[in-house]
Amino acid sequence: MLKSISSENRTAFDVVNIVAGLALLISPWLLGFTGETYAAWNAWIAGAAIALIAAAALYAFYEAEEWLNLVLGIWAFVAPWVLGFSAIAAAMWAHVIVGIVVAVLAAGSIWFTHNHPLSTA
């Protein structure tokens, strides 16, 4: 039986986004690119924003939080090329992986919120 996304699934999405945001936030130290100004600052700011927005979504779900994380996920994905640090492999892959995870989960949450399959129960 198909059903709409439950609050437990939404909570799991938000927890994963918190972890992804924190991973991006600490990635400059873990992966050694703190000396790369654009890459490090983008990781710190975008990672903190993703984690804080996902944490806010745990407290009370509002669709705007998912849209913000969708935008931040897309930004994290394209930032290495826009900000010119795509040649720094560790920074590029940290941003790309976190960007994909956050954007996909946020888009999935938005999609499931608007597409409620009919229940057969």
What's the domain count of the chain?
1
56 found inside a domain: yes
- Is residue 57 within 8 A of residue 41, CB to CB? The reply is no
78 found inside a domain: yes
CA distances from 29 to 32, 67, 82, 96, 103 (A): 5, 28, 22, 17, 24
107 found inside a domain: yes
Please provide the average confidence, as pLDDT, over all residues in the chain. Answer: 88
2 found inside a domain: no
- pLDDT at residue 1 in the model: 35
- pLDDT at residue 10 in the model: 73
121 found inside a domain: no
73 found inside a domain: yes
Cα(32)–Cα(28) distance, integer angstroms = 5
CA distances from 54 to 66, 72, 88 (A): 8, 11, 27
CA distances from 31 to 18, 40, 78 (A): 19, 10, 19
Q: Which residues of the chain have pLDDT under 50?
A: 1-4
Cβ neighbours of 18 (radius 10 Å): 18
Residues spanned by the domain of 39: 7-114
- pLDDT at residue 52 in the model: 95
- pLDDT at residue 77 in the model: 98
Q: Where are the alpha helices (DSSP H) in 60-88?
A: 63-82
32 found inside a domain: yes
Q: Is 87 left (phi over 0), alpha (psi -120 to 50) or beta?
A: alpha
